[in-house]
Amino acid sequence: MQTTLVIATNNSNKVQEIKSVLNNRFEVISLQEAGILIDIPEPFDSLEENAREKSTVIYQLTGKDCFSEDTGLEVEALGGAPGVKSARYAGEPADTAANIEKLLTALTGIENRKARFRTVISLMLGGIEYQFEGICEGQIATEKFGSGGFGYDPVFIPEGSKISFAGMSMEEKNIFSHRKKALAKMIQFLTSENGENQTTNS
Ligand code: IMP
């Protein structure tokens, strides 16, 4: 029987990217499709704890196997900021344009533009949690480029590319993406004997 997983996120861009990577290998249901309309809290100071909180809340609500992810942009010259605070870097409410503007201003005149996206997936399988990490190294551009993607995509140029994530198709972004790398680890786990034995709906 096919594994069914609820994706514990309200971010439609993430749902699209995740579905493109999972590519019908598992049946995945977004929160919206599961009829769950809550804002999941991210109260902690680490991606790991926030990811766990989100998958735990959704597991408790649905009783179904599910996974969440939390992502941060870690900029070397800023000591790893905005990191876990990436969504609200420029304050509340979360505002992507203001976040990018604050980031570019913070890096004005700074030569070291090294940064990385880090994603932590928390998979809740039969009530047991497993985590998977994906990292994409790159650089912060000096200005926005491209009209696709979401979040910090217009200013993030992955290592091995000359253009930002926002200038790429989803398939191209998936060649480099932090989220894709974390998902690949989760897929490997789920298709291994270990993962197959843990699902509640298989
Ligand atoms: P969160 O994981 O939803 O908390 O995301 C943290 C922040 O990083 C938000 O501002 C997102 O828009 C941004 N973000 C998450 N993933 C990506 C990505 O793949 N590209 C660009 N920005 C992202």
% of the chain at pLDDT higher than 70: 96
Average pLDDT over residues 115-123: 98
SS3 141: coil
d(CA 2, CA 82): 38
Identify which of 58, 53, 65, 60 has the alpha carbon closest to the alpha carbon of residue 26: 65
pLDDT given at position 199: 64
Model confidence at 202: pLDDT above 50:
no
Q: How confident is the model at residue 42 (pLDDT cuts 50, 70, 90)?
A: confident
SS3 108: coil
d(CA 120, CA 124): 13
Question: E strands, 141-193, where?
Answer: 156-158
> In this structure, what DSSP letter does residue 145 have?
-
Model confidence at 78: pLDDT above 90:
yes
pLDDT given at position 23: 84
Backbone torsions φ then ψ of 75, nearest 5 degrees:
-105, 120
Identify which of 152, 151, 128 has the alpha carbon closest to the alpha carbon of residue 139: 152
d(CA 41, CA 154): 26
pLDDT given at position 2: 66
Q: pLDDT of 96-116, one tens digit each?
A: 999 999 999 999 999 999 999
Domain count of the chain? 1
Closest ligand 1 atom to residue 17 Cα is 19
For residue 24, the domain's CATH number is 3.90.950.10
Residue type, 127: G
Q: Are strands 4-7 and 27-30 parallel, antiparallel or unpaired?
A: parallel
Residue type, 51: A
Cβ–Cβ contacts within 10 Å for residue 188, how many? 11
Is 198's C-beta closer than 6 angstroms to any atom of ligand 1?
no
Q: How confident is the model at residue 197 (pLDDT cuts 50, 70, 90)?
A: low
Q: pLDDT of 17-38, one tens digit each?
A: 999 998 888 889 999 888 899 9
Exposure pattern of 71-81 as b/e (b: 16+ CB <10 Å)?
A: bbbbbeebeeb
Average pLDDT over residues 36-60: 93
pLDDT given at position 119: 98
Instruction: Please say whether the beta carbons of 152 and 98 come within 8 A.
Output: no
Model confidence at 66: pLDDT above 60:
yes
pLDDT given at position 200: 62
Average pLDDT over residues 55-76: 95
Residue to probe by mutation, ligand 1, list 52, 95, 150, 179, most atoms within 8 Å of CB: 150
pLDDT given at position 108: 97
70 is catalytic: yes
| Residues 6+ positions from 128 with CB-CB distance below 8 Å | 198
Closest ligand 1 atom to residue 94 Cα is 10
Question: E strands, the chain, where?
Answer: 4-7, 27-30, 66-75, 82-83, 114-125, 128-140, 156-158
Q: In terms of residue numbers, what domain contains 87?
A: 4-201
Which residue has the CA at smallest separation from atom 7 of ligand 1?
Answer: 87
